[in-house]
Amino acid sequence: MLAIDGLGFRYPGAAQAALDGVSLQARRGSVLGLLGPNGAGKTTLISHLAGLLPVQRGSVQVDGVPLADSRRTNPTRIAVAPQEYAFYPMLTVAENLACFAAAGRLSGARQRDRIAACTAFAQLERFSNVRAENLSGGLKRRLNLAIALLPEPELVLFDEPTVGVDPQSRAFLLDAIRSLATAGAAVIYTSHYMEEIEAIADRVVIIDHGKVLRDGSLAELLSDGPMVVSVRAEGVDAVALQSFGEVEADGSVLRVRLAPGRSAAAVLAAVETQGVSIEHAEVGRHTLEHLFMSLTKRSLRDD
C-alpha cells in the first residue's frame, strides 16, 4: 500500500541528512515494525507520512499515487497515533471523540457509528463521561488510539504507543493493534521495546543514521543469525571463551555468538572447567535485541 523509495531529508541548516535514501514498503494486513536508536530518523519518517514534512528527495507513494496527491484527495486515509497525548485534557472521553470526529468532517449517522465503534474497540465505554486528564496512563493511550481510528484509516502509524502503561494495558494495546492489521489495515509500529516488535510485527525495518540497515520478515531476521549461548555466572574468564565466538558481557551475563563449527555444549564445558558455578544458561537463535544492538552498536546516542 505504501511504497517509500530513496527518501532523503535534511533539516534546514543541519550538517547531516536525517534520512538518507530510505526505502521500505508497508502492506495491508501486515504490521511493519520500525526500529532505530534515538536520532535514527523514525520521527522524521513518520512526519513525512503525516504530511508535516515535504518530500525533498526520493518518492513516497500510496497505492501508486504520490503522497501529497493522495493526502489531497483523501486526507484521512493515513492516521498517526502520536507519542504524546493528542486530546483535550479538560474534555471527557465522549467529548474528545465528538470533537475529533467533527474536526475530521464526520457527521450524522457516520459520526455516531464511528464514535461507537472506536469507543468499543478501545474498550472505553465505561469511561465515556470521565475527563481525559483523570484517566490512567493506559486509558489515555487507549483514547489516543480511539481518536486515531475515527476516520477508519487504511494505514495507521503508531509512534511508541505503549510508553508509560502497565503490562495489562500494553497487552491490550498490542492485541488491538494486531487486530487492525488482521482486519486489513496496514500498520507501522515504532517502539524501543524489542519484545513488542517481536510480538506483533510481520516485517521489521531497522534504521540508523537515516539509512535502512536491515529489512526483512521477522522470521528471516531472527533465523539468519548465529546461535547464541548466554551464561549467567560470577567470575567467568571471558577471554578464555573467545575461541568459541564473539563474546559480549552484559552485567553478570556473558553472551557467546557461536562461530561456525562451535557447539554450545563446548562453551558450557569450558565455563565449568573454570570452576565457577553456572546460575543460568540459555541457548538459542539471537533475539531481535541482539541483532539490533549488533547492527547499531552499543554507543549511547546523545545527539
Ligand X SMILES: Nc1ncnc2c1ncn2[C@@H]1O[C@H](COP(=O)(O)OP(=O)(O)OP(=O)(O)O)[C@@H](O)[C@H]1O
Helices (H) and strands (E) in the chain, counts: 10, 14
Smaller CB separation from ligand X, 39 or 82: 39
Residue 245 touches ligand X, criterion: CB under 6 A:
no
Q: Which of 32, 35, 43, 60 binds ligand X (CB under 6 A)?
A: 43
Residues in a beta bridge with 80? 157
Residue 300 touches ligand X, criterion: CB under 6 A:
no
Residue 4 belongs to what H/E stretch? strand 2-9
Phi, psi of 280 (to 5 degrees): -160, 140
Q: Which of 14, 15, 239, 300 binds ligand X (CB under 6 A)?
A: 14
SS3 294: helix
Q: Which of 33, 41, 151, 153 binds ligand X (CB under 6 A)?
A: 41
* C-alpha to C-alpha distance for 47 and 297, rounded to whole angstroms: 26
Residue 33 touches ligand X, criterion: CB under 6 A:
no
Largest CA distance in the chain: 76
Residue 15 touches ligand X, criterion: CB under 6 A:
no
Q: Which of 5, 38, 68, 102 binds ligand X (CB under 6 A)?
A: 38
* C-alpha to C-alpha distance for 199 and 181, rounded to whole angstroms: 13
Which range, of 39-47, 112-120, 164-172, 227-235, touches ligand X by CB under 6 A?
A: 39-47
User: What angle is formed at CA 3 by the lines to CA 73 and CA 75, rounded to 5 degrees?
Assistant: 20
- Asked whether 130 and 162 are in contact (CB, 8 A), the reply is no
Residue 48 touches ligand X, criterion: CB under 6 A:
no
* DSSP states along 147-170: HHHTT--SEEEEESTTTT--HHHH
Residue 44 touches ligand X, criterion: CB under 6 A:
yes
* DSSP states along 61-88: EETTEEHHHHHHH-TTSEEEE-SS--S-
Residue 123 belongs to what H/E stretch? none
Residue 303 touches ligand X, criterion: CB under 6 A:
yes
CB of 214 to ligand X, least distance (A): 15
Residue 173 touches ligand X, criterion: CB under 6 A:
no
Residue 140 touches ligand X, criterion: CB under 6 A:
no
Which range, of 42-50, 150-158, 217-225, 255-263, touches ligand X by CB under 6 A?
A: 42-50
Residue 18 touches ligand X, criterion: CB under 6 A:
yes
Residue 174 belongs to what H/E stretch? helix 167-182
Smaller CB separation from ligand X, 24 or 93: 24
Which range, of 38-46, 91-99, 130-138, 140-148, touches ligand X by CB under 6 A?
A: 38-46
Q: Where are the beta strands (DSSP E) in 27-71?
A: 31-35, 57-62, 65-66
CB of 84 to ligand X, least distance (A): 11
Residue 52 touches ligand X, criterion: CB under 6 A:
no
Residue 191 touches ligand X, criterion: CB under 6 A:
no
Smaller CB separation from ligand X, 234 or 303: 303
Smaller CB separation from ligand X, 48 or 203: 48
Task: Give the residues lining the site for ligand X (CB under 6 A).
Answer: 11, 14, 18, 36, 38-44, 303
